[in-house]
């Protein structure tokens, strides 16, 4: 059986005719079914996958490949509409809803590139938690911790685990407060959160539309570049690999290192030293806007909570509320206290803080800090202590939500290990709509950040 690898290495096998897409699809389903953790997926799209694999096989044999992704497997966080399949958003509330009648445009974009949709991955219910715990479908185990059951991170939990466990080469997730970058960091893979609006959002169940963005979880930045191109309809990537000597990084000294585990800081700083030795320019600076994001939430409430409450208000007021994870209900109901004037004040301040942050950056400068202040914690204490759950969730989301609020794009790259040998993520971010430059820099820096160069 073929070992699941990167998109790039699988593409070599498929394009050369050494691996037929039908065989690859069959092996993928066998691997998923043989996996001891059956909480990674909420549903498989077997008939669709075999149909798409057969079509890819026929094209390749006729010399009509659609490109490098043709015939390769992809899985989707359970927020994306796949025609003929029910989108449950990690909840039992939607389980008996009619299936989607059409693919979400971003699903259609990867299908047009020849990718084979294998199934739907588990997630935090309604995407409203950074931990990945789901009481309805189970919580996927973090593959980086074979002995202790540790959280995978969320909300794109199953997406990260499906890739980290070697079941598929790529998964597509959503990121509203860190939901791609957090599980990528916790499981030791790459997670790219695109600028909000880079891809079509129709057919993707929302959490907070002012913050929601999408992105791939995969093994390498190169794979993220390939997936990104296909997701917005390009037939091939246009990203240019940056020159290391041209890279400039600023490390924020505000918020992101507060109460961070020493091992996480050590892994991050070791990566920074390697980058400096390779010629990357690095400076450190205070970012008052980072602290202001949290001051604003303390004064007016959180933007994500306001919009999530507006979305789910009627659901929470009716009998369906009893079928929703009580922790999700508790957190969403906090939005009831946020007034319209609060909401407008948040949006006004957000525009100002985005502008201030961008003005504080040097020409072409990228922002770097640990993706998370801690490694993935064991799940058991979080299940038995609500206070610990909410405290851990807030800390887990802290570093990444800054990027959502300030409209950054960002990519989390593994940079070493922390406590208990668990993965640590290095988050590289850029202002909105600078995705191509960010990905070009990440391509150049990835091996050094990982300590492989």
Residues marked as catalytic: 77, 155, 179
Cα-only R_g, the chain: 21
3-state secondary structure of 417: strand
Q: Which long-range contacts (CB under 8 A, 24 or more apart) does 33-36 make?
A: 35/165, 35/167
Q: Which residues, 6+ apart, have CB-to-CB distance to 109 below 8 Å?
A: 199, 200, 230, 231, 232, 233
With tokens 């409209």, the residue in question is: 407
Q: How many helices (H) and strands (E) does the chain have?
A: 15, 11
DSSP assigned state of 211: T
Contact 370, 266 (CB under 8 A): no
Helix 288-300 vs helix 386-405: crossing angle, to nearest 10:
120
Go through 89-108 and write b for each residue having 16 or more CB atoms within 10 A of its CB, e for each that does not. bbbebbeeeeebeebbbbbb
Contact 150, 71 (CB under 8 A): no
Q: Which residues, 6+ apart, have CB-to-CB distance to 47 below 8 Å?
A: none
């Amino acid at each position: 059986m073929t070992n699941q690898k990167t998109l790039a290495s699988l593409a070599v096998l498929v394009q050369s005719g050494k691996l037929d897409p039908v065989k690859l699809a069959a092996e993928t389903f066998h691997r998923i079914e043989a996996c001891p953790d059956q909480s990674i997926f909420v549903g498989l799209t077997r008939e669709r996958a075999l149909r798409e694999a057969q079509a890819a096989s026929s094209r390749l044999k006729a010399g009509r490949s659609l490109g490098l992704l043709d015939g390769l497997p992809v899985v989707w966080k359970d927020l994306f509409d796949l025609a003929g399949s029910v989108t449950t958003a990690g909840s039992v509330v939607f389980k008996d809803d009619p299936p989607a009648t059409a693919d979400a445009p971003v699903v259609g974009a990867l299908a047009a590139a020849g990718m084979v949709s294998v199934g739907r991955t588990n997630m935090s219910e309604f995407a409203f938690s950074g931990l990945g715990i789901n009481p309805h479908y189970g919580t996927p185990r973090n593959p980086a911790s074979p002995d202790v059951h540790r959280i995978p991170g969320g909300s794109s939990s199953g997406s990260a685990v499906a890739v980290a466990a070697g079941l598929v080469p790529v998964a597509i997730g959503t990121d509203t407060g860190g939901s791609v970058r957090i599980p990528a960091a916790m499981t030791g893979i790459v997670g790219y959160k695109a600028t909000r609006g880079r891809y079509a959002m129709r057919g993707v169940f929302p959490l907070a539309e002012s913050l929601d963005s999408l992105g791939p979880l995969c093994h390498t930045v190169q794979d993220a570049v390939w997936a990104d191109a296909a997701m917005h309809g390009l037939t091939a990537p246009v990203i240019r690999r940056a020159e290391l000597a041209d890279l400039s990084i600023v490390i924020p000294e505000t918020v992101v290192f507060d109460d961070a585990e020493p091992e996480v800081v050590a892994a991050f700083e070791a990566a920074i030293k390697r980058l400096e030795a390779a010629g990357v320019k690095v400076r450190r600076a205070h970012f008052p806007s980072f602290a202001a994001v949290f001051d604003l939430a303390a004064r007016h409430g959180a933007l994500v909570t306001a919009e999530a409450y507006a979305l789910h208000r009627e659901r929470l007021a009716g009998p369906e509320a009893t079928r929703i994870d009580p922790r999700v209900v508790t957190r969403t109901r906090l939005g009831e206290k946020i007034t319209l004037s609060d909401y407008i004040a948040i949006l006004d301040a957000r525009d100002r803080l985005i502008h201030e942050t961008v003005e504080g950056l040097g020409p072409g400068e990228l922002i770097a800090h640990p993706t998370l202040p801690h490694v993935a914690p064991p799940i058991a204490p979080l299940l038995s202590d609500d206070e610990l759950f909410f405290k851990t969730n807030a800390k887990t989301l802290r570093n990444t939500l800054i990027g959502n609020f300030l409209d950054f794009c960002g990519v989390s790259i593994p940079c070493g290990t922390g406590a208990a040998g668990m993965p640590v993520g290095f988050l590289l971010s850029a202002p909105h709509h600078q995705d191509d430059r960010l990905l070009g820099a990440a391509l150049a820096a990835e091996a050094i950040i990982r300590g492989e160069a």
